[in-house]
Each structure stands twice: as structure tokens, then as C-alpha cells.
Structure 1
Amino acid sequence: MNPLRIAQIAPLIESVPPAMYGGTERVVYHLTEELVERGHDVTLFASGDSLTSATLCSPVMKSLRLTGQQSAGTLSSLYTLAMVYEVMAGKFDIIHSHVEFLTFPYAAKSLTPTVLTFHGRLDFPETLRLLRMYRNLHFVSISDSQRASARDLNWQQTVYHGYPEDAFGFSDKPSDYFLYLGRLSPEKAPHEAIIIAKECGVRLKIAAKVDPVDQAYFAQQVAPLLDHPLIEYLGEVDESGKIHLLRHARALLNTINWPEPFGLVMIESLACGTPVIVRRCGSAPEIIEHGKTGFICQSRDDFVRAVRGVGTLKRDLCRKAFEGRFTRRHMADGYEQIYNRLLNPDGVQSGSFDEGSSLCRP
């Protein structure tokens, strides 16, 4: 397709890519980089400590979580959206927002088409009420299951997340441990992973952060289970540490207990050749093929059987599943199709890019 002038609007809580935890920001990073590689003129609206090949516009100098300014997230994002839509919208062919609901009033009045990717769950009543008020905007789901409670919206497509094929090294010689990776929160149910590991007599490494809202859950249900020779709690790890842990794990023990919209950790695991043992909820059945790239479980007994049967799974099939469905190339292909569909059907694009804001740097 012809080169486009694209705005990518990221959350400001983490940098793009994030230094530690931050799924949405990592997706925005890889999509932006792939679009730039394809010749598009991309402007990324993100924190000033972000790294990108696109033009970077920075409403805040540093990502908000690591500087303790999470409370400024809404106001900073509103400032970003005002800058994009009130000052710069005419400079873009497509605006692609990842800050979700705050974008609605701006996108509804803009002459520049907006693509809205939702990264969270949508099944809360107050969420559905607002979504339906703006049902004619251009929505993209990250799994089919994510849109199940709001099928009456103007869904453009489901686009799965993706990574570069060389981002995670394949390993066919795992170590002897299982891995829990992500957040220590009730909906992720890490306490169940610990209980299952103990029952099966296997080592479990836990690499995860604890958000302030989850401190009570951690203290009451997780911390008392950590004092055991089979359990190793590592805290939050950086990207290289995460990759090392995933490559050498026997399997990812993903005991989620909520309708996870996607679950990046599952495709990260597949990219390393590491099977995924996961509860049947949310996007899991779309990502993991039971008996081939992992096991889909319902009960604790299912998890125990899966842990004991993980040796029957072939790690090369996990890697092939990643390469066939979840690469950065697949993700960018999907979004390019959406961009193209929303623009002139004859493919004629608007004129040259105007001089950008003083907040932007190439």
C-alpha cells in the first residue's frame, strides 16, 4: 500500500517499549517499528524516555509509573489527545489510539479516521454503556473473545498481537522448572500456580510485579506460600531476564482466572518453544491449541495432569505456532488492511507531511 502518515497514541504510564512490565506499550512499540520499516511516516505520542524509529512527540518527559506519577495519567493523556486532534489531526491520514475511552469524544468529531485498539476487558456494565454511546467508531479487538460482550459495535477486525521473529530465541532443552510470569493479582491467580507446583512436586519460578492495588492480596494469599524449597520468587524482571526464564522453562503455568483479552505472555512463551498450561477463559483457546502447544484446563486436577504430562508436548510445534500466527509481520498486515479500508478505496492519499509540533523529534 502507499505510504501513510500515521499517528500512534500510546499510554504514558510506561515507556515505549517498557523497561519492565507493560504489555500495551510493547505492542505499540513493535507495531510502530514495523510500520516505519514498511515506509510509513509514523508519529508516536509517548513518554520522552521512549525509544522509536518514528517521530516521537512527548507530552511528558518520563513514563509515569516508574516516576511515581500514575495519578497524572488521565490529565496527561487528555493533553496528548487535545494536541493530536485539536492541533495536528490534519497532518495525519490515520490516527491509531491505544488510550481507549478518553479518545471517544475527539474521534467522534474528527475528520481524520481513528482506529481504536482496546487492550483491556470490555464486559463491565459501565464500560458497555459508554462503548455503545460511541458504537460507530472504528474498533479493533485483540481477540474474538474480547468482543463477545459487545458484538454490536463497529468492529473492524480482530488483530492478534505480534513480535519480531528474532525477539525470542527457541530452546529445545529446557531446565527443570515451571514459570509463572506477569502480575501478582487475584485475576491472575498466582497462588493457584504455587499450590499446583507443590502438589506436583515441581520447581516454580515466579517473575512478577505487585501493583499497589494488589498488595493486600499478595500479603494474604501469595506471600504465605512462598516459603518452600520448590518456590522461587524473583520479583519483577527486565526484558532479558524474562526471555531467559521463558526459554528455559518446562512450561508456562498460566493460572489466570478472568477473561484475559489476549495475554502477551502466552505468545512470548510459544516463541521460545515453551508450552503453555492455561485455564480455559478469555483468549486462551484462541491462542493455545490443546495437546499441541499446551493444555487448556478447567479444574485444579486438570492443571495437575497437565503439569505431569508436559513432556508429551513438542517444543518445535510451539515455535511454529508463533511463526505462523503471532509475528510482528502478521500484526502489521492486519492493521494495514484496516487503515486501507478506512481511507479512499482508490488508494489516493493526502498531501505531504506538515511541520510538526515542537514536542516532536525524529
Structure 2
Amino acid sequence: MSQVRSVLVNAGPWLPVPPTGYGGIETVVATLVPELRRAGVRVVLATVGTSTLEADGHVFGLPEGRFAQVAAPYNRVSGITHAYMHAVTTALRDLEVDLVHDHLEVVGPAVLGAMGTSAPPVLQTLHWDLRKHPDFYETFDGRGRVRFAAVSQSQLDRAPRRLQEQTLGVVPLAAPLPEPYDGPTETGDHVLVLARITRDKGQDTAARIARAAGVPLVLAGPVAGIGDPDELERRLADGSLDGHPDAVYWRDEVAPLVDGDAVRWVGGVAGGEKERLLRTARALLAPNRWPEPGATGVVEALFRGVPVVATPQGVLPSLVEHGVTGYLHDDEDGLVRALGLLDRIDPDDCRAAAAPWTPAAMAASYLDLYDLLLKENR
């Protein structure tokens, strides 16, 4: 039985928990917190004011999420994370928690580490590409009080040595288990990309291969934090998104391939609409250009018996077994061929492969790391 009685889980300032549409980290937090509470742990959730996830206490670092500004220039965005962490650390001084489980990139461990023994021990989950911040990860010393958890072995293998030495373990990401659903379940004719529109996710590649294979494609996910197609059109027209890398990628490389028929963009989706698109998809596409460390969308698809067609980047080879639960190819020609072989995949094999990535298993792994961290800092 875990020795942890209470924990502050810091979700960060970008999106509410649970998110109303896209939200990778926030979905993970929304999946983890209920399982920790079921295990008898008191959870204080640090998040933004529009969050609705039930917890034993809340710290609201900002009134609402700031995801629309996440890719803004540094001189416009840096104050968001620092204002948020100021509110969190101020509240933390009056809270009685055994440890902090942090999910805020770089600023979380930097601020909490600077607090020294004024803060409880900290475990940060690493959700991102660790090559982005070499100056931080190659020099940061948590002095045993700030430690890390990777979300995949492939992510940890690419980490700087100093960060590897401060990592307690690897905890694969879980996705929420499918809830009761009374909508259509018969497989449709479309394939699906379920991710924010950004060049790393390869939506342009998905559009080209789907067109070449003669398979309708649905793109679901926000552009520059905007999930409503009408709002995106207005923002592109008024110039407020000029220079935003995701908006530029959408405008120049993806939108010209979207015709509303062979390739459709449905904006951000959640709830019943997301469930319908997933359950009726012939496959989930993940033609990533980057070594994604964790892929909850892939796990969600496999839970529903939906095969995955992807590039063998990052965590994907450990989630998708080529020829059994989907197909992995480096090149577009191979991905096109894979879309012609989807009928060879047994949905039951996909469901069975997802079995290890349950929310309860993720929570149990984190409780083990919590205990190890507290033992080191007794």
C-alpha cells in the first residue's frame, strides 16, 4: 500500500481539466486524478478556473486557459507560465501535501526547484520532446528533491544524460476507458487524424496518402488553439494569426488539400462527436514527423478496436505492432499501401494490445514512484 496521503497535481495554465476538445496533457491529468483518489490519495488539482474535474481541493492559477497563446513569441508568452506558477507556489505554502506531481514544461521544475525545502518533493512527468530545451535539461540539478518520470523508453533514451540520471522511471500514458455509447458503431469509410494541426503531426501527409489511396479523410483538431472553422477563417482574415507557425502550416500546406469531400476538417471535437468519429473510423492515422514521446490518441483508437497507420517515430513502434494492430512505414508510398490492407487487421487484436495502458495501471505506477521519491526525501 502506498505511503502517499496527499499530492498536488499541477496541470499547467493552457487548458481546463478535462479539456473540452484537444488536450493531451490535460487528458492525462483528467485520467490520473480519479484513479489516485480511488486509491485513497487526497488530490489538490492546480489548473485554470474553467476546469471541472472533481478533486479534494483546487488551486486556480489563472481564470481560464491560455492555449491560444502557447506558440506566441517568447516575449508575449513567458509571463503566462510565471504568473500561473506564482499563484501555485503562493497557495502551496499553505497546503499540506506530501509531494507535487508537476506537468508544466521547464517552468514547473525550475520554480519548484528554486523553492528548495520550502516546497515538497516534486515528480515531473516529461510529456514533450526533450531536445527542445538543452540548456535547461543538460544543467538542471533537482538535488534529489525534483525528480522526473518519462512517458516512454524511447523518450528517455533521447534525453540528456543529466536528465536520465534524475529520472525515477517510465510510466506509459493511459487513455480514458471507453464509456457506454449508444451511437453508430458500424465501421464507416473514413480514416481519421485526431491531433492539433501542426507540422509535426503531418496532416498534409495524411491528406496526400488518403487521396492517393482513395479513402476519405477526416482531420479533427484545433489550429492555433482554435477549434471552430468560422472563427479560424475570421482570425486568418484579420491578420491576428500572422506568423503563428501552426496557422501558417494550415494555410500553406493543409488547407489547399482540404476540399470538404475527400479531405474534411471538422475543427476541434469532444464528447459524442469524438467518440463517433473514432468508433466508426477505418483507421487512425499518425504520420508524425517527430519522435512523439506519448500518444494517447493511439491508445484511444486501439481501445476501440481501430487500427493505426503511422510512421515509426518515437513511442509509436512500442504501441503499434506492424501487421497486427496497424502498419508502420517511413515513406508515403508505404503508408498508401497500408490503407489498402486495413481489412487484414483484427479489431480484437487492437483491443487486446491496449490492455496494459489502463488508467488504473498508470496510477499504480505513479504511486510506486511517489513512494520512491518520498523514501529518498524522508
TM-score range, shorter chain: 0.7 to 0.9
Partner SS for 2:94: helix
Partner residue, 2:374: 343
1:185 is the counterpart of 2:185: no
**CA–CA distance in structure 1, aligned partners of residues 156 and 193 of structure 2:** 27
Q: Which runs of 4+ in 1 moved over 4 A?
A: 66-70, 168-172
Range with greater deviation from structure 2 (324-333 or 146-155): 146-155
Unaligned regions of 5+ residues in structure 2, if any? Answer: 225-243
Equivalent position of 1:39 in the other structure: 40
Aligned to 1:150: 159
Query: Is this contact kept in 1: 2:59–2:91, CA < 8 A?
Result: no
- The normalised TM-score by structure 1 is 0.87
1:76 is matched with which residue? 83
Tell me how far apart the structure 2 counterparts of residues 84 and 343 of structure 1 sit (CA, whole Å).
21
Match of 1:264 among 283, 287, 296: 296
Spell out the pairing of 1:194-209 with structure 2 (5 A cutoff). 194-209=207-222
Matched with 2:137 is 131
Structure-2 separation of matches of 1:311 and 1:132: 46
Q: Once the two structures are superposed, what CA deviation does each residue of 1:179-234 show, in whole Å capped at 9, x if it has no partner?
A: 11112211111111111111111111111211143111111111111126322221
Q: Calculate the TM-score normalised by the size of structure 2.
A: 0.84
Map residues 253-332 of structure 1 onto 2, 5 A cutoff. Answer: 253-322=285-354, 324-332=355-363
- Counterpart CA distance in 1 for 2:40 and 2:251 is 49
Cα deviations by residue, 1:87-134 (Å, 9 ceiling, x for unpaired):
136x1111111113112242251362110111110013xx12211322
Which residue number corresponds to residue 283 of structure 2?
Answer: 251
The Cα shift of 1:24 comes to 0.5
Q: Distance in 1 between matches of 2:69 and 2:292?
A: 28
Cα RMSD (Å): 2.5
Query: Between Structure 1 and Structure 2, how many residues are aligned?
Result: 342
Equivalence map 1:105-116=2 (5 Å):
105-107=111-113, 109-110=116-117, 112-116=120-124
Instruction: Indicate the SS of the match to 2:309.
Output: strand
Describe the shift of the 1:165–1:184 C-alpha distance in structure 2 as closer, same or farther (beyond 3 A).
Answer: closer
Tell me which amino acid in the other structure corresponds to 2:60: S
Determine if contact 1:45/1:80 at 8 Å carries over to the other structure: no
Q: Provide Cα deviations, 1:62-90, integer angstroms capped at 9, x if missing partner.
A: 223479999452233221342255x136x
Alpha-carbon distance change, 24 to 134 in structure 1, aligned in 2, over 3 angstroms: same
Structure 1 unpaired stretches of 5+? 350-362
Deviation at residue 45 of structure 1 after TM alignment: 0.7
1:233 maps to 265
- 1:188, 1:257 within 8 Å by CA — same for their partners in 2? yes
How far does residue 53 in structure 1 lie from its aligned partner after superposition?
Answer: 2.5
Does the 8 Å contact 1:172/1:316 carry over to 2? no
Aligned residue in 1 for 2:230: none
Q: Does structure 2 retain, via aligned residues, the 8 Å contact 1:295–1:306?
A: yes
CA distance in 1, matches of 2:296, 2:264: 22
- Point out the more displaced range, 167-176 or 137-146: 167-176
In 2: Cα distance, 1:237 partner to 1:246 partner: 11
Counterpart in the other structure of 2:126: 118
